[in-house]
Amino acid sequence: MQSTNAVNQANYLEYRGRFKGLFGWIFSTDHKRIGLLYLYSMAVMFSVGVLLGLAMKLELLAPGKTIMDAQDYNATFTVHGVIMIFMVVVPGLPAVFGNFLLPIMIGAKDVAFPKLNLLSWWFYVAGVFLVLAALLFGPGTPDTGWTFYAPYSFKTGTNMLPAIFGAFILGFSSILTGLNFLVTIHRMRCPGLKWSKLSLFVWTLYGTAWIQLLATPVVGITLVLVALERLFGVGIFDPALGGDPILYQHLFWIYSHPAVYIMILPAMGAISEIIPTFSQKHIFGYKAIIASTMAIAFVGYLVWGHHMFTAGMSGTAQYYFSLLTFLVAIPSAIKVFNWISTMYKGSINIQTPFYWAISFIFVFMIGGLSGLVLGALAANIYVHDTAFVVGHFHYIVFGGTGFAFFAAIHYWFPKIFGRMYDKAWANIGWIVFTIGFLTLYSPMFYLGMMGMPRRYYDYLEEFHGGNILSTFGSWILATGFIIIIVNLVRSARRGEKAEMNPWKGKTLEWTVPSPPPVENFDEIPEIAEDDGPYNY
Amino acid sequence: MSDEKTHIVPYRVYAFVLVALVVLTFLSIAITGYDLGKYTVAGALIFAVVKSFLVLTYFMHLKYDKPYIKIMVGFVFAILVVTIVVTFLDYLYR
């Protein structure tokens, strides 16, 4: 017992186990270290994705060739998409904050399968290297777009197989994480922690884990089929061999639309933690938020066809997918209503995470409402494959998941690193980033409505003004991003020591020291009957 | 974990299931020799479903598990069925 107590006195950052230095991290099965491994890996990949995005916007600064030709532009948006989707937003909040916080939030010492958890990160790294190999070596960088659409994906002369295989491996990482979280939530909750007392972030991780487990294998198999088609010409998707390219689109979106909810549900969970804490008030409609989370997870699984309205689907399927797409808006709107109602008459403490959270609601609503334009069959035909779609997508995925990620990192930073960031610089970073975001993506709605197609390196003169504004926005956004990163990196090393509960939160992670001890708790906590995650 | 009851399945049951799986595999190969027209895929799927059922029920111990595990597995199958039905809203009405 003596040695156990001694171990628990060391926090997870200082703990020296069997290995030292880098090996002490990459072979660690501690869920907190694995969370940080994901954070660092994803930060690197996100930075690469941002640079590629900036390059695209620079190309679009003026009509005609600016810095790259058409083929390079095709490769750039493909790589940008593959990195941002498969390596950043899909692992996203669950891989970083889920890993770090889930066991603490349910009063456990670790996840159910710590070694499997580490294996998930290793799969992630292997997938990243495979995809990067596809970019740097072989006959040419993939140019299909991140969707790998058939039949082009098995006809193009570019280096597709390693990219496809890399995405396949990344899928395994996601499946294993989902499985781990499901078992952990079912089996490892501390005594007294009923389902009705779980924090909302845990609930959203639960919904997400189900989607990861059920949807990811579909894309895995689909990518294998593309590889078989490419290698042996088996004729599943190739119309020349009796195959159906629209079948590829069905299979791809059966995963990739739920993947949007893999990205956004944990983001909503983080926002559902931040708003009550900074309003110092019980979350409004706890059960409604849980029900809407599960409803989004379920209905979101069945709306994939709205990506295919112009692909040649049957009219019956179009009606069905359009109707269900509109239905998904309802649980999303319930959440927004609950967040705003939580703030109503609360003791609002305006801090950086709260700024990020309310700007999340703002951009997410614009993204969501523009999604209804795309979900309507007639309007979809008009704006399909235009810059409007790019604007909507980035408002949802970057504005939703990205803003929530920054909200979450500013909220849980003192817990993770045991230090507080410079709040003034954090606020400056937020405002610059937000202005940059709005300037970058808002013109895309206008450009799309005016008819500017997406995925072209060139455009007509009439779209020049909007593109200049958008490119200018990308520079502002990058400036904001640099301010945020520099502030956080500097503060992780030299920031003021953070107290255990700087925001006066009520969930379990605020009851352990900052940074947490290796095994989180000296004794597994017990939740009393009248305790709850938002009892202010 | 130690306070949970475990169910010990006799080897005889596993042997029966194994034999059934092998027989069904041969049957699923044999049926390809007959021209069933549009029911060819349905035939193959029926054998696959029965084999999956046996594996899940006995080898994966679903028969002896708690009800909530059965509900979860049933839910997953329901999702699979709904996904296939929705996909066929396209193919049947195209």
The pLDDT tens digits of the residues spanning B59-78 come to 998 998 889 899 999 999 89
pLDDT per position as a tens digit, A342-397: 999 999 999 999 999 999 999 999 999 999 999 999 999 999 999 999 999 999 99
Is A250 in Cβ contact with B92 (below 8 Å)?
Answer: no
Q: Which residues of B touch A254 (CB under 8 A)?
A: 83, 87
Supply B66's token pair: 């708690």
The Cα–Cα gap between A53 and A129 comes to 20
What pLDDT score was predicted for residue A136? 84
Cα–Cα distance, A523 to A100 (Å, whole number) = 19
Q: Check: CB of residue A206 under 8 Å from CB of residue A188.
A: no
Q: Are B52 and B7 in contact (CB under 8 A)?
A: no
Measured between CB atoms, which of A214, A250, A313 is closest to B79? A214
Dihedral of the alpha carbons of A54, A57, A62, A64, in degrees to the nearest 10: 100
For residue A4, pLDDT over 80 is answered with no
pLDDT at A513 over 60: yes
In 3D, which of A171, A167, A180, A178 has the Cα closest to residue A29? Answer: A180
Tell me which H or E stretch contains A369.
Answer: helix A352-375
Q: Out of A43-47, A76-80, A173-177, A296-300, which region has the weakest mean confidence (pLDDT)?
A: A296-300
Among chain B residues, the shortest Cα distance to A303 is held by: B86
Rounded to two decimals, the ipTM of the complex is: 0.85
pLDDT tens profile B5-17: 667 888 999 999 9
CA distance A237 to chain B (A): 14
Distance CA B50, CA A490 (A): 60
Nearest to A164 by CA among A130, A204, A211: A130
For residue B86, list chain A residues with Cβ-Cβ distance below 8 A: 302, 305, 317, 320
| pLDDT average, residue stretch A19-25 | 90
Task: Give the single-character DSSP code of A497.
Answer: E
Q: Tokens representing A408?
A: 């979450």
Q: Which of A297, A321, A319 is nearest to A249 (CA)?
A: A321
Confidence at A251, pLDDT banded by 50, 70, 90: very high
Give per-residue pLDDT as tens, A181-236. 999 999 999 999 999 999 999 999 999 999 999 999 999 999 999 999 888 988 89
Distance from CA of B90 to the nearest CA of A (A): 5
Six-digit token string for A523:
């004794």
Give me the half-sphere count of Cα atoms (radius 13 Å) on the Cβ side of residue A186.
14
Q: Which of B76, B82, B92 shows the shortest C-beta gap to A302?
A: B82
Which distant-in-sequence residues (6+ apart) come within 8 Å of A257 by Cβ? A300, A301, A303, A304, A306, A307
Please report, for residues A102, A276, A403, A519, the alpha-carbon distance to residue A203 in angstroms, rounded to integers and kept in the order given. 10, 16, 20, 22
Provide the 8-state DSSP code for A517: B
Across all residues in chain A, what is the average pLDDT? 93
Mean pLDDT to the nearest integer, A510-520 = 93
Entry field: residues in chain A: 536
As beta bridge partners, residue A386 has A453
Chain A contact probe: residue of B68, B89, B92 with most A CBs at under 10 A: B89
Distance between CA atoms of A70 and A64, rounded to whole angstroms?
A: 10
Is the pLDDT confidence value at A1 over 70?
no
Contacts of B89 in chain A (CB under 8 A): 314, 316-317, 320
Using an 8 Å CB-CB cutoff, list chain B residues near A314: 89-94
Instruction: Return the structure tokens found at A283.
Output: 């979350």
CB-CB contact of A499 with A419 (8 Å): no
| Residue B17: Cβ-neighbour burial (10 angstroms; 0-12, 13-18, 19+) | middle
Taking the CA of residue B80 and the nearest CA in chain A, the distance in Å comes to 9
- β-partners of residue A496 are A420
Residues of B with CB under 8 A from a CB of A: 76, 79, 82-83, 86-87, 89-94
Q: What is the pLDDT of residue B36?
A: 83
Answer yes or no: do B90 and A250 touch at CB < 8 A: yes
Q: Give how far B93 is from chain A: nearest CA, Å.
A: 6
DSSP class of B3: T
Q: Inform me whether the pLDDT recorded for B1 exceeds 60.
A: no
pLDDT score for A472:
98
Per the CB < 8 A criterion, the answer to whether A80 and A144 are in contact is no
Domain that holds residue A107: 24-511
Interface of A with B in 36-95 (CB under 8 A): none
- Cis (ω within 30 of 0) for the bond into A533? no
pLDDT of the residue at A156: 86
DSSP reduced 3-state for B75: helix
Residue A230 has which token pair?
Answer: 């490419």
Provide the number of structural domains found in chain A. Answer: 1
Domain borders along chain B are 11-91
Q: With left for phi above 0 and alpha for psi between -120 and 50, is residue A233 left, alpha or beta?
A: left
Minimum CA–CA partner of A311 in chain B: B90
| Gap from B88 CA to chain A (nearest CA, Å) | 8
User: What are the phi and psi torsion angles at B36 (to 5°)?
Assistant: -95, 5
Kindly report, residue by residue over A407-456, the tens digit of the pLDDT. Answer: 999 999 999 999 999 999 999 999 999 999 999 999 999 999 999 999 99
Say whether A317 and B83 touch across the interface (CB within 8 A).
Answer: no
**pTM, entire model:** 0.93
Shortest CA distance from B88: residue in chain A: A317
CB atoms within 10 A of CB A323: 12
Interface contacts A/B by beta carbons within 8 Å: 34
Q: Say how far apart CA A224 and CA A228 lie, in whole Å.
A: 6
Does residue A13 sit within a domain? no
Angle at alpha carbon of residue A467, lines to A465 and A470, rounded to 5°: 115
A53 CB-near residues (< 8 Å, 6+ apart): A80, A84, A474
Could you tell me which chain A residue has the CA closest to the CA of B92?
A: A314
Ramachandran region, residue A30 (left: φ > 0; alpha: ψ -120 to 50; beta: rest): beta
Mean pLDDT of A280-305: 93
A68-87: pLDDT as tens digits:
999 999 999 999 999 999 99
A301 touches chain B (CB under 8 A): yes
pLDDT at A5: 38
> How much of chain A exceeds pLDDT 90, in percent?
84
- The lowest-confidence range among A134-148, A301-315, A420-434, B46-60 is A134-148
Tell me the average pLDDT across A469-482.
Answer: 98
Q: Is A100 helix (H, G, I), strand (E, B) or coil?
A: helix
Torsion sign, CA atoms A410, A419, A484, A124 = negative
Please judge whether A314 and B92 are an interchain contact, meaning their C-beta atoms are less than 8 angstroms apart.
yes
Q: Are A396 and A264 in contact (CB under 8 A)?
A: yes
Q: Give the pair of three-digit tokens for residue B87.
A: 């996909």
Domain of A73: which CATH number?
A: 1.20.210.10
